Every structure is written in C-alpha cells, then in structure tokens.
Amino acid sequence: MGRGITCSVLCFIVLISLVIPKGLSEEYSPCPPKTIEIVQTQTSKTEWKVSVTNTCICTVFNVHLLCPKFESVVVGNKDQSVISEIDKSSKCLLNNGDNIVKSQVITFTYSGDRVNFALDTYNIACS
C-alpha cells in the first residue's frame, strides 16, 4: 500500500507542475534580461563608450552590472555618478540605482583596457 500512495503523490506533483504556470520566471517576466541591452564601442585606442538601454515596457532600477577588472579603468569625471563599483566586488551600480524608464539610454565613457560589462541583477517597476 505504501508504494501506491507514493506513486499517487508523485503523479499528483507531476500533474500540478504541468498545470500551474511558471509565474515570474525569466521566461514570463515583463522585463527578461535581454530587454536591458549593453553596447560598448571603442572611441579611441584606450577609450570606450558604453550605452545601456532599457527596451522593456516597464521601468527598471537598482541595475547592477558585472564589471570585472573595473578598478583598473578611469571613468570620465561626468560619468562617475552613472557607473560606480560596489565595494571592490567586480559589480557596478548603474545610474546610482535610480529609475531607467522605457527606451532610456544611460551612457558613460571610460579609459583603459576593455571591461566585459554584463547584466547582473535589477528590479522592475510596472504600473
């Protein structure tokens, strides 16, 4: 009898997992990671321009980027509030964590070796 109950419970769990939608997984999120686009362009031998665009229908905020070896670059004076490393962690805060609305582009320049920026984490505000 124990086997019959175990099989019934297992079958029920499998059935429920197929019926219940995935909820707020990345696949069903209104702002999956691909909606935050990072484009980097070399503007001179040692200078780079980075543009981060929110293509999501919602506002994103508290955007963190992976920024390995960021401590070895020099960010332009006017851009220091746009991108900053978080406690020597190889993670950077974009736009002081402030809102980035739909279609908004955040840009900054830096000098030094190319940094491979990638999206780490972010929050979404949809109304």
Domain boundaries, the chain: 25-125
pLDDT for residue 81: 87
Asked if pLDDT for residue 26 goes beyond 70, the answer is no
pLDDT for residue 13: 46
> Where residue 127 falls among pLDDT bands split at 50, 70, 90?
confident
Residue 20: CA count within 13 A, CB half-sphere = 10
| Dihedral sign (CA 115, 81, 72, 91) | negative
Tokens of 15: 């059935």
Place of tokens 């499998």: 14
With CA atoms as reference, report the closest residue to 115 among 65, 53, 61: 65
pLDDT for residue 51: 98
Of 2.60.40, 1.10.357, 1.10.3470, 2.30.30, the CATH number of 25-125 is 2.60.40
Tokens of 46: 């040692």
Rounded to two decimals, what is the model's pTM?
Answer: 0.76
